[in-house]
Structure 1
Amino acid sequence: MKRSMPKVSIIMPCYNDGLYIHEAIESVLQQTYKNIELIIIDDGSDEEDTINILNDLSDERMKVLHTENLKPAGARNYGINIASGEYILPVDSDDKIDATYVEKAVKVLQNNPNIGVVYCEADLFGEQNGKWDLPSYSFETMLLDNIVFVTAIFYKSDWEKVGGFNTYMDSGMEDYDFWLSILAVGKEIYQIPEILFHYRIKKVSRTTQFMDNSMQVKEIYSRIYDSHEEFYEKYSKVYAKILRDALIEQTFLKRKYEFELKRLLEGYEEENVIKRIMRKLFC
């Protein structure tokens, strides 16, 4: 039988995010669910303001640890390893969570033993604003690409079972790799149909740098497949159909954009011809 209010350990890696971390911390400490601990991992920050802010933090509900630039996956593993909570929630030091997120997620986990991960809908703030246009959760979509952000609640015991976050994903996507590991051990993922997570968009971030490098993207997805080869073999028929559908969709989109581009270029040429005729007639 589940305890009425098991502890939730919130894991917050920080690398030079002093400008934003107070907002992130405040959103954690304002949770309506009170049995929480906040573990902040200073992952080798070298910015003076960030170092001073982290050194000044003082609250009995939080711990501040120091590591030497393990990067997000390693820093999360470091914090989770010493966490005393039954549940784990990673929150990056520049993001925010709604005050009711933990309470609502824990309720789902306690009432559904087959569910191992709970997340929610999200919105964007910072350089962009509005709802984060992620697809609704489905197992089939997860076979193809990640639609679950890292700020999701899961069992520490499942983290131990799958070996934690894969630090070999040094360019990103360690959350996708981790969710696939959770699915592979038979747990389900559930999305709360409500915006409870607020994701900060910066001009430059690890995500934007990753998505700008096609070779790096191919390499990381190849690593993910290799790490979960048995899982993909188990669902090979489903995966093949999803890949086929994605290829068809991309082919039709390519045709559409090529047609639109051709039409724009033809219009541009016609406009230039008219301008040349007008110059000859009236100049």
Structure 2
Amino acid sequence: MSITAPWMAPCQTACTFKSRRRKAPDLISVCITNFNYARYILDALESVATQSHAALELIVVDDCSDRDESVARITAWMEENHARFWRCTLIVHTRNQGPSEARNTAFKHASGSFVFVMDADNTIYPRAIGRLYMAACDGGFDATYSQIEYFGHERRIGSADIWDPAQMARENYVDVMALIRREAWEKVDGYSHIDEGWEDYDFWLKFIDHGLEVAYVPEILCRYRTHGNSRTTNDAWAAHDSLRAIMAFRHPALSARYRPDPAGTKG
């Protein structure tokens, strides 16, 4: 007899397709999280399907979409395109849990040693996963990320730069779109839920806390869609000061180590 605690995120597998091909040693799991983004999700899926890296597993986690036909659209797309992947799966949360739990659900179901994370309203260029994977393997990194391109309501290049723990302690410049070693996700205990946002920033700070190695690939590989309904627009900016306090509370050693010295006494 199994008991599901009320605070756990119950989920159901809406559909899954698995090929008869052997699991490739360079298999990468792609995690797409979706919540009422039926109008964008097909663009995200198509951008994954056109990746130059051949060995892919696709895991879409729908976080209980209740205002559109996300599940029906994703299911129909998988039925038509599943041959592209070693396996593709749609998992549906039976109640909304937020992006952190949706990503954790995908990691728990991932078969690859690396997982690429993206949200359903974003897209990636065909070379993205292959380039990030090559960099991770060549350098033995726990995660790799690239420069991003903003599109939609705003068009510009992102602010990603070389991984620097001191700079990251002051501000986040690394997007959630990144290739992550599954063992590293386990080591930092996955993503943590934070009410107003900044789960991705907290995730990267946990990488620094644990001494994990992260690398920047200086190419524009990922595309971030800007629109009025994004969680960053609606929640995170409005709670900017309180979120900084939360980050300092959650990562006290990091905050103390890299806190600016106004007196200029530290050499």
TM band (smaller chain): 0.7 to 0.9
Q: Pick from 226, 246, 261: which aligns with 1:223?
A: 246
The offset of 1:220, in angstroms, is 2.0
Deviations 1:185-237 (A, max 9, x none): 11222111110010000023211112442xx222222222222113334xx2x
Could you state the TM-score of these two structures normalised by the residue count of structure 2? 0.82
Match of 1:126 in 2: 152
User: Which has the higher Rg, Structure 1 or Structure 2?
Assistant: 1
2:61, 2:92 within 8 Å by CA — same for their partners in 1?
yes
Match runs of 1:268-279 below 5 Å: none
Q: Give, in angstroms, the shift of residue 69 of structure 1.
A: 1.0
Match of 1:182 in 2: 207
Identity of aligned residues (%): 26
Give the Cα separation in 1 of the matches to 2:259 and 2:237.
Answer: 26
Supply the AA of the counterpart residue of 2:74: L
Distance 2:188 2:161 in 1: 26
Instruction: For residue 134 of structure 1, report the CA deviation from its aligned partner.
Output: 4.5
Question: 2: CA distance between counterparts of 1:6 and 1:210?
Answer: 37
- Shift in CA distance, 204/47, structure 1 to aligned 2, threshold 3 Å: closer
Q: Aligned equivalents of 1:29 and 1:244: distance in 2?
A: 54
Does the aligned pair in 2 maintain the 1:74–1:165 contact within 8 Å? Answer: yes
Give the match's secondary structure for 2:142.
strand
Higher relative strand content: 2
Give runs of aligned pairs for residues 239-250 of structure 1, distance below 5 A: 239-241=259-261
Corresponding residue to 2:232 among 196, 202, 207: 207
Q: Secondary structure at the match of 1:191?
A: strand
Contact 2:47 2:126 (C-alpha < 8 Å) held by counterparts: yes
1:279 aligns with: none
SS at structure 1 position matched to 2:166: helix
Greater share of residues in helix: 1
SS of the residue corresponding to residue 51 of structure 2 reads coil
Please state if 1:149 is matched with 2:172: no
Shift of 1:88: 1.2
Q: Which residue in 2 is equivalent to 1:260?
A: none
**What's the RMSD between the two structures over aligned residues?**
2.1
Alpha-carbon shift at residue 128 of structure 1 (Å): 1.2
Q: Are 2:105 and 1:85 aligned?
A: no
Task: Please list, as runs of the form range in 1=range in 2, the aligned pairs for 1:96-115 lying within 5 A after superposition.
Answer: 96-113=123-140, 115=141
Number of positions where the alignment pairs a residue of Structure 1 with one of Structure 2: 235
Shift of the 103–19 alpha-carbon distance from structure 1 to 2, 3 Å rule, reads same
- Alignment partner, residue 50 of structure 1: 70
- Residue 94 (structure 1) aligned with residue 114 (structure 2): no
* Higher alpha-carbon deviation: 66-75 or 51-60: 51-60
- Consecutive unaligned residues of structure 2, counting only runs of 5 or more, are 1-23
Are the aligned partners of 1:12 and 1:93 in contact in 2 as well (CA < 8 Å)?
Answer: yes
CA contact (8 A) 1:42 1:54 kept: no
Asked whether the 8 Å contact 2:149–2:222 carries over to 1, the reply is yes
What's the TM-score, normalizing by structure 1? 0.77
- Kept in 2, the 8 Å contact 1:96–1:199? The answer is yes
Match of 2:9 in 1: none
Secondary structure of residue in 1 paired with 2:33:
strand
CA spacing shift, 1:133–1:232, aligned 2, 3 Å: closer
Does 2:58 align with 1:38? yes
Shift of 1:27: 0.6
State whether structure 2 residue 56 is matched by structure 1 residue 10.
no
Using the TM superposition, give the Cα deviation of residue 5 of structure 1 relative to its aligned residue in structure 2, in angstroms: 4.5
Displacement of 1:122:
1.1
Task: Give the aligned residue type for 1:198.
Answer: R
Report if aligned partners of 1:137, 1:147 keep a CA contact under 8 Å in 2: no
